[in-house]
Amino acid sequence: MAELTVAPGVREQLAAVARVRWQLFVNSLRTLRGRMELVSHIFITLGFAAGGIGGLAASCGAAYYVVSSGKAEWLAIILWPIFFFWQLFPVVATAFTENFDTSNLLRFPLSYSSFALIRIVYGSLEPATMLSSQWLLGVASGVAMASPPLFPWAAIALLLVAAVNILLARMIFSWVERWLAQRRTREILGVFFLLFIISFQLIGPLMSRYGRSAHPDLRQFADRVLPIQRLLPPGTAASAIASAADGDYAIAAGTLGILGIYGAAIFWFLDLRLRAQFHGENLSEAPALAESSGQRGIVRAGWSFPGIPGSVAAIFEKEMRYLSRSGPMLFTLIMPVFILFIFRLTPSTSHRGSGSFLGGSSDMAFPIGAAYALLILTNMVYNNFGSEGAGVQMYFTAPVLIRSAILAKNLAHSTILALEMVLVWIGASLIYKPPALGTTLATLSGILFALPVNLTVGNLLSISSPKKIDYGTFGRQRASNTTVFASFGVQIVVVGLAAVTLMAGRSFDRVWLATIVFQVFAAVAWVVYSVVLKSIEHMAFGHREELIAELTRAS
């Protein structure tokens, strides 16, 4: 109760945090990287604004139709997609979320009220909240236009839905971050996330394959689900509005009370986590096992390769060992083959062929899988030093050239891509049929062209626009927005050029011409890569302070 009496102190603390964040933003504009980040944020904001306005108009029209038709309970059909988007979008699109770690504020004398409020408010300043709030505003507008007396009930219900969604998102993130703080739970959560992504990808093909024919059990399934969904927040809000529309105001008020109970229960779980953090909870990794006296004197030899310097081999070994225990690495290896499996399940829109998406052109399975593998790998290639953190300082103090470290990282990424090509070829052969020799050679030649282009641009952006990666926290697992936009541009050009060349060769039944063209492009690309790699040392030392400051600072 004592904390509730310090409102002026809370306001002052919030104002101080806001001033600090604003000053950090202003100071960031003094650098080229900061200005580029601002430009990327503007483009992202414009894109989300367009989606918000379009969704607002669509939800307004849908709500108007539903309420004017006398079926207000159908508002649940609108509220459920908003609910799922609000909760799932931040998980699958962490590159567009804010990356400020509010737990770092615990180093300062903040009260718990200020800390909790900052966590809730600042964490909610993300695209999912902005878009979903606009869509809820559209629902409220549609209800108001269809039935003005119903608007107060709809406004209260939708405000409660918004509060429940905000608190639920913060609660989920706080508990997931608690599990990500330790390696064992992080690995388990990574497996569940991978299974979720895979399962989500199967929805479209299964619906396309089995959803065309009506099943008698679907109506029974819907009859069972409808009563259950009314007990959950989106369905509860729709039921409250429907009861108010029918004149059952007591039932409507009681249903709104259920929404309030949902919000209170979610806040209790969130408060449990925030208080643990506020009181100094520090979840460190488990301590390493003590070495026995017999093992203490054993020194294991590092990897060595003919013609490769020892420093490059040592960093290459370190990268491969780290990546072999990485969840994103598992995702990189599995998804291209799984995408081919999804294409196999997806029915073709044509009346000819074997019925699958690639049934009429199965030779394209290997090129498509290879291109997808390259796209996934760019997340690591374009941010070479992101996972180093404070350890990046060692590269500037150890008797090792920065060029050697970057070369070793490029070799590790190239090795992963080579392994991926083998898996994709085997997957394409098993799921469809073995690709023709000409298609295989053309695809490999295209990869030999695309790889040095991505490595070259990735090396430059890794130095000029780095971003600290923290696999234990949402929103800090990907490259910066500037790097994301640059990688999109590179992939559009490279993949587009490769696709046009390969399709032109196939259309004239001269796939070997595409192979020759790719080899010429690859020769030029590798020359450019070598030139940039030789000059990367000077660039790295020129950006040394910016690189170290970015990777060692608290997020």
Same domain, 247 and 384: no
Residue 4: the pLDDT is 43
Q: Do 444 and 333 belong to one domain?
A: yes
Q: Are 421 and 444 in contact (CB under 8 A)?
A: yes
Dump pLDDT digits (tens) for 107-121. Answer: 777 778 877 887 887
Cβ neighbour number for residue 519 with a 10 Å cutoff: 17
Helix-, strand-, coil-residue percentages of the chain, each rounded to 5:
80, 0, 20
Torsion angle of alpha carbons 173, 174, 176, 181, nearest 10°? 130
Tell me what pLDDT residue 96 has. Answer: 47
Tell me: do 434 and 480 sit in the same domain. Answer: yes
Q: How confident is the model at residue 218 (pLDDT cuts 50, 70, 90)?
A: very low
127, 191, 359, 421 from 339: Cα distances, Å = 28, 18, 15, 14
The predicted pLDDT at position 411 comes to 92
Whether residue 73 is found in the same domain as residue 198: yes
Looking at the structure, do residues 241 and 350 belong to the same domain, yes or no?
A: no
Does 148 share its domain with 191? yes
Domain presence at residue 98: yes
Domain that holds residue 112: 16-213+226-278
Q: What is the mean pLDDT of residues 236-246?
A: 88
Verify that 246 and 315 share a domain, yes or no: no
| pLDDT over 60 (residue 412) | yes
What does the mean pLDDT of the chain come to?
Answer: 77
125-179 residue pLDDT tens: 778 888 888 899 999 999 889 888 888 999 999 999 999 999 998 888 887 777 7
- pLDDT band of residue 52 (cuts 50, 70, 90) is confident
Q: Which of 109, 491, 455 has the alpha carbon at shortest distance from 278?
A: 109
Q: Would 92 be classed as within a structural domain? A: yes
Distances (CA, A) of 110 to 24, 102, 118, 271: 19, 11, 10, 16
Q: By percentage, how much of the chain surpasses pLDDT 70?
A: 74
Q: Determine contact, residues 150/50, Cβ cutoff 8 Å.
A: no
Q: Are 382 and 262 contained in the same domain?
A: no
Domain count for the chain: 2
- Taking residues 317-343, report their average pLDDT: 74
**Cα gap 435→428, rounded to integer Å:** 7
pLDDT band at 6 (very low <50, low <70, confident <90, very high): very low
Residue 31 has pLDDT above 50, yes or no: yes
Greater confidence, 407 or 205? 407
What Rg do the C-alpha atoms of the chain give, in angstroms?
A: 27
> Domain check: are 267 and 371 in the same one?
no
Residue 140 lies in a domain: yes
In-domain check, residue 494: yes
pTM: 0.65
Q: CA–CA separation, 109 vs 532, rounded Å? A: 48
Same domain as 202, residue 60:
yes
pLDDT, tens digit (0-9, with 9 covering 90-100), for 484-526: 777 778 888 888 888 888 788 777 777 788 888 889 999 999 9
SS3 sequence of 222-235: HHHHHHHHCCCHHH
Residue 294 has pLDDT above 60, yes or no: no
